[in-house]
């Protein structure tokens, strides 16, 4: 079984200044139009006969629609909450600059908060790894298709890699997952492996 993870379109510039997590923020339509070549390249790279999974957040649905406009076969996608972005609880909507003054021990080198930290009312990153892992196992056990395209989020794709490779949360948050990039995982028998990470495609 092969999982083809695509990170969603770039969100609106205003949202980038905040820790938006699982909030349903708008995409940047200007960037989506400018990135037409990247959508076309990914649409051509993805397997045509695959199940498509999105999350409850509109930015994944809109990304799938952009891939369809770029040539990928249209189909009703399956909505899977297990692949949604990390829930930051009471910290969602807070400015990223508010976390800049934290001492190094309280934040990750590449992320505003520490990998083991639980935001008030939210999820720690290990929770995300566990949740995404459950989703991966469920897709694998259902076997409705050998290839599944999952349009998801940066944090969830890092979590998928962590689950597949046995990485700890700190290591997982060090992985770079760009918008409109492709990451591929494969399961053989009971084992997962990483085929590619953060592929940047363009026509």
| pLDDT tens-place string over residues 109-157 | 898 899 999 999 999 999 999 999 999 999 999 877 899 999 999 999 9
Q: Give the count of domains, the chain.
A: 1
Q: What is the tens place of the pLDDT at every residue in 19-37? A: 999 999 999 999 999 999 9
Q: What is the tens place of the pLDDT at every residue in 165-176? A: 999 999 999 999
Q: Reading across the β-sheet that carries 147-152, which strands appear in turn?
A: 78-79, 51-54, 147-152, 2-7, 182-188, 191-199
Report residue 2 as tokens: 């092969």
pLDDT band at 203; cut points 50, 70, 90: confident
Q: What is the DSSP string of 46-82?
A: S-SS-EEEE-SSHHHHHHHHHHHHTTPPP-PPEE-GG
pTM of the model: 0.96
Q: What is the tens place of the pLDDT at every residue in 64-101? A: 999 999 999 999 999 999 999 999 999 999 999 998 88
Q: How many C-beta atoms surround the C-beta of residue 3 within 10 A?
A: 26
The two beta strands, 147-152 and 2-7, are parallel
Which CATH number fits the domain that encloses residue 151?
A: 3.40.50.1240
pLDDT band at 158; cut points 50, 70, 90: very high
**What is the rounded average pLDDT for all residues in the chain?**
95
Q: What pLDDT is attached to residue 103?
A: 80
Give bridge partners of residue 186 from the DSSP assignment: 2, 193
Domain coverage including residue 148: 2-199
């Amino acid at each position: 079984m092969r999982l083809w993870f695509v990170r969603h379109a770039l969100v609106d510039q205003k949202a980038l200044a905040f820790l938006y997590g699982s909030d349903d923020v708008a995409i940047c339509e200007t960037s989506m139009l400018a990135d037409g070549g990247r959508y076309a390249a990914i649409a051509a790279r993805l397997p045509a006969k695959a199940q498509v999974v999105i999350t409850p957040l509109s930015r994944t649905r809109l990304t799938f629609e952009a891939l369809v406009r770029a040539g990928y076969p249209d189909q009703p996608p399956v909505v899977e909450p297990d692949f949604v972005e990390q829930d930051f609880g009471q910290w969602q909507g807070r400015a990223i600059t508010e976390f800049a003054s934290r001492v190094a021990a309280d934040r990750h080198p590449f992320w505003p908060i520490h990998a083991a930290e639980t935001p008030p009312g939210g999820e720690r990153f290990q929770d995300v790894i566990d949740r995404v892992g459950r989703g991966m196992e469920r897709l694998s056990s259902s076997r409705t298709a050998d290839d599944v395209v999952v349009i998801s989020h940066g944090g969830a794709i890092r979590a998928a890699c962590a689950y597949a490779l046995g990485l700890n949360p700190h290591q997982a948050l060090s992985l770079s997952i760009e918008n409109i990039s492709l990451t591929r995982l494969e399961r053989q028998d009971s084992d997962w492996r990483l085929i590619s990470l953060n592929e940047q495609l363009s026509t």
